[in-house]
Structure 1
Amino acid sequence: MRPVRIALLIAALGAAQAQAGVFDDDEARRQIADHRIKTEARFDQQAKAQLDLANQIQQQAEEIARLRGQIETLTYELETAKKRQQDFYLDLDTRLRKFEAPAASAADGADPAATAAQAKPAGDPAREAQEYEAALNQFKAGKYKDAATGFAAFVQKHPDSQLAPNAQYWLGNAWYAQRDCKRAIEAQSVVTTKYADSPKAPDAWLAMATCQQEMGSAGAAKRSLETLVAKYPNVPAAETARERLKKK
């Protein structure tokens, strides 16, 4: 009997170990499956995050391209407007210069000899014209600092030149283009006093009013416009002044 019991005990132990081995294999497979699922889930999350990041980068690139296009468009429009303004100024200056000296020398009843003697400039007209044109070309090219230097030198060197009122007026515009309204007003005030009979004087008053308005001196701007209308009622600048006064 005893050998039989021993044999049965050994068989039972073998069966238990075999069952335990089966359980161990199942647990290992379950853990492997869980690990694979978790790994795949992490991969999916990373792939989704990378896709979202790629979409964000693409959207940002498109927004940058759109903003760059807007900047280029605005820059072009600004340069075009600036060029049109400069061309307008230059064309107006050229037309006004045609009427300044001839009108004075052709006054009714004037003695031609005396008029010629009075109109004859002390300096070299050709040289003065070259210096004036050089400064004006600097302004046209947008080199406002150089233009201001050129015009200032011109009026200092040729204060009695027929081109001096024009140079003084453009000196004020050169300062205004540099956003220096204080110096612009100082320059234009010389035109309105020293060269009050010049065709540039009304425009100088108008330019002064613009600077005064930008500096917050609404009262001074109004007085400048009113003075312009009172002194020069029939010039184009006076009409512009009247329109501005209506809006105040």
Structure 2
Amino acid sequence: MRVSVLPRALALAACLACSLPSQAGLFDDDEARKAILDLRTRLDETRSQNVAAQRQLTEQIQTLQRSLLDLNNQNEQLKAELARLRGQLETMQRDLSDVQRRQKDMTQVVDERMKRLEPQQVTVDGKDITVEPDEKRAYEEAIAVLRSGDFEKAAGALQTFLRRWPQSGYTDSARYWLGNAQYGLRAYKDALATFRQFLAAAPDHLRAPEALLALANCQVELKDTKGARRSLDELVKQYPKSEAAVAARERLAVLR
């Protein structure tokens, strides 16, 4: 009994010893395949993740490009708007400059008109007077006509002046020149009356000696020799140092 059992035990042990290496190799192949499958799975996942990331990156880039394009369009619009505003500003500046220039011109015109309307200080026959612009112009125009030799027109202008401005500072001088215009027209009686009126109103006037001499000349023309001598005597007496007094003395020597 013991002899038969031992051989079989030995044979079983030998079989087991021979089968152990092949079983170990089988286990190694399964693990490798499993590792490869795991690796492939991870690679596929990584690939999918990369594709998704690339797609997302592409979308972000496209979004950024659209944003940049929008910003560029907005920038161009802003440039155009800025150019338009700059043009409007330049136009407004030109308009403002034109308005300021016109306003300045209008101000000058108004000032000039106001000056023409404001009373003015003038000197006539050594006397300072204040006159209105129209008053001054009318007097100067009448004197200019007288100097041109048109005694009739000058007499009319001076008479009109005296009626319009009876209290003018020009009145005495206007009356004196009216007498001269009337004398030039040979209206000796009118001239005589005008010179007498002048002397009665302004005996201290600068032209009083000349007026008295002219009055005596009117009397001579009217054949009033006696009256002429009285006027000349009065001239020499009242204004002895005047040039008219020199002429009066000469005239008296002739009349006597």
TM-score using structure 2 length: 0.49
Query: Could you tell me which residue of structure 2 aligns to residue 224 of structure 1?
Result: 231
Alignment of 1:142-181 (within 5 A): 142-181=149-188
Contact 2:146/2:154 (CA < 8 Å) preserved in 1? yes
In the comparison of the two structures, how many residue pairs are matched?
133
Report deviation, 1:188: 0.7
* Match for residue 183 of structure 1 among 190, 194, 199: 190
**Is 1:194 matched up with 2:204?**
no
Secondary structure of the residue aligned to 1:241 is: helix
Report deviation, 1:185: 0.4
For 1:153, give the aligned amino acid: T
In structure 2, stretches of 5+ residues that fail to align are: 1-122
Query: Could you tell me which residue of structure 2 aligns to residue 241 of structure 1?
Result: 248
Contact 1:145/1:178 (CA < 8 Å) preserved in 2? yes
Alignment of 1:32-181 (within 5 A): 100-102=126-128, 121=130, 123-124=131-132, 126-181=133-188
Aligned equivalents of 1:98, 1:151: Cα separation in 2: 15
Aligned equivalents of 2:240, 2:222: Cα separation in 1: 26
Aligned equivalents of 2:179, 2:161: Cα separation in 1: 13
Instruction: String of CA shifts for 1:135-157, please: whole Å, max 9, x gaps.
Output: 11111222211111111122222
Report deviation, 1:204: 0.9
TM-score using structure 1 length: 0.50
Report deviation, 1:130: 1.2
- Structure 1 vs Structure 2: percent identity of aligned residues? 35
For 1:235, give the aligned amino acid: S
Aligned equivalents of 1:174, 1:235: Cα separation in 2: 23
CA radius of gyration, larger in: 2
Deviates more, 1:229-238 or 1:150-159: 150-159
Contact 2:124/2:170 (CA < 8 Å) preserved in 1? no
Deviates more, 1:196-205 or 1:216-225: 196-205
Aligned equivalents of 1:185, 1:146: Cα separation in 2: 19
Q: Higher relative contact order at CA 8 Å, sep ≥6: structure 1 or structure 2?
A: 1
Secondary structure of the residue aligned to 2:199 is: helix
Off by >4 Å, runs of 4+ in structure 1: none
Contact 1:175/1:183 (CA < 8 Å) preserved in 2? yes
Report deviation, 1:127: 2.6
